[in-house]
Structure 1
């Protein structure tokens, strides 16, 4: 809840008081759908009634997959923006991403369509009563299905790094684009976050001790939902305080993301002064 309050003023400034765009819609999804999933996971971690345990777990796991798809869409849209709105690049990335979405749906159907593959274990202590999941199938299916997801993230990171390297080569001896560096850095952060998330999801299907499983669940149920909206807001916040004339422009159409003209103008003004 503290994250919700901390970002609320900036959200009002950069989302609710401006014309809506695809990026603002994606932000609202990862912000509030992620908040819903985080609260649901927190409640289930404290206590999950056995009568509804299967339905809640299926809802949470399907929710994770939906959240992942929207987070990946943000990465694709950012690459489209910093690559001079290349339609070819957008079509290629979307074409590669659609099989990942289909794989995610198939994985959820296979892993969570049968109540026999997992159960809820109720643990009672002297001070608390909580629940944890117990999986009855090995981790190999989860490993196989996570490989394409990780590979797609690697493609996005490598492509973002290649775009940045080309930009730095073009701007040799001059100031590089701040936003391009920031977006590529956030791509790397998200890659590390998602890789960690995929590894921990696989570990949940392995026979690991209950404390280790609880820590894995805690990370998966909190970190993605906290970091993803914060990374989006930070770009908008930097842009708003950078004195750009195009601050009200939608994300993909903002020339600051790709054009070095503003920096060149700043350098010229410094020379004149």
Structure 2
């Protein structure tokens, strides 16, 4: 690498680092008041614990990614351990994000134990594959190296992969297939729900539509993330590499907690006369237009609804 290329790479890294820190900090601050209201001031639950994991573990990973490489000088000996931590951290974060999607599918599928067991059974091999991939690709010094680059005005560390991107491509295929399955189940559940609601002349449930939409958005995000992770293994121009790293280092950590907060916030602001449980599966339904008495109480529980009232409430 020439001195000019090293200086250009350092400038790109610093600019991307500043942008990542600004985005993550801004996102954290604008959601802090809602987090205090919906998490810290309420009894903790399984979903609130998942929120705290994706919120603060994601914040930690995003800041480490932003600081490594140039914005803050980190010695070469420490940099290798940080890269391993970052790559393993991305995998752990992915697993928690997938658990959130599985839990929401379990909720909107009428708390079907079959759906839960099938998804968990398919997810366990995905976790094992992710662990094996991280061990093989990121835990062996023979696969990649961290080198210190010195310029007249600064010095920083960068990494070089010693193998091609094909293994990363192959190992990402099962992950994408699993995400496709989650989207298909969510879409099928929504279609079934819409048909049932039209039969009884009621609008689709707001939360059902929202959760399915988030599944699709997350699938698109994860697909883009997996493609960019593979691209980072290839020898691509510095600007493209930096922009890909900016996306991978911010988008997953912004979207996951925001999706949880959005559902909670929608539930809290819904104009419902009766809400049985805080953050519960939605029991609020739009009233049939022909019944005036329902207009006085727009939130009713219907026995044919996907969210059965006689079942244990699952927080989404």
Q: TM-score, normalised by structure 2?
A: 0.79
More helix by share: 1
Paired residue for 1:262? Answer: 285
Structure 2: gaps (5+ residues): 1-24, 297-316
Structure-2 separation of matches of 1:127 and 1:238: 51
SS in structure 1 opposite 2:270? coil
Paired residue for 2:169? Answer: 143
Q: How does 1:120-269 map to 2 (within 5 A)?
A: 120-122=146-148, 130-172=156-198, 173-244=201-272, 245-246=274-275, 248-251=277-280, 254=281, 256=282, 259=283, 262-264=285-287, 268-269=291-292
Structure-1 separation of matches of 2:173 and 2:152: 42
Paired residue for 2:91? Answer: 65
**Shift in CA distance, 175/267, structure 1 to aligned 2, threshold 3 Å:** farther
* Kept in 1: contact 2:288–2:294 (CA 8 A): no
Of residues 28, 35, 42, the one that matches 1:11 is 35
1:123 deviates by 5.0
Report the RMSD for the aligned CA atoms in angstroms.
Answer: 2.1
Paired residue for 1:104? Answer: 130
Structure-1 separation of matches of 2:266 and 2:279: 15
Structure-2 separation of matches of 1:30 and 1:15: 13
* Kept in 2: contact 1:121–1:133 (CA 8 A): yes
Paired residue for 1:30? Answer: 54
**Higher alpha-carbon Rg:** 2
**Shift in CA distance, 186/121, structure 1 to aligned 2, threshold 3 Å:** same
**Shift in CA distance, 122/160, structure 1 to aligned 2, threshold 3 Å:** same
1:268 deviates by 3.5
Q: TM-score, normalised by structure 1?
A: 0.91
Structure-1 separation of matches of 2:75 and 2:270: 51
2:113 paired with 1:87: yes
Q: How does 1:36-75 map to 2 (within 5 A)?
A: 36-45=60-69, 46=71, 47-75=73-101
Structure-1 separation of matches of 2:230 and 2:89: 17
**Shift in CA distance, 33/64, structure 1 to aligned 2, threshold 3 Å:** same
1:21 deviates by 1.1
Tell me which moved more, 47-56 or 155-164: 47-56
Structure-2 separation of matches of 1:55 and 1:272: 61
1:20 deviates by 1.2
> How many residue pairs align between the two structures?
267
Tell me which moved more, 198-207 or 160-169: 198-207
**Shift in CA distance, 119/10, structure 1 to aligned 2, threshold 3 Å:** same
SS in structure 1 opposite 2:145? strand
Structure 1: gaps (5+ residues): none
* Kept in 1: contact 2:172–2:226 (CA 8 A): yes
Paired residue for 1:117? Answer: 143
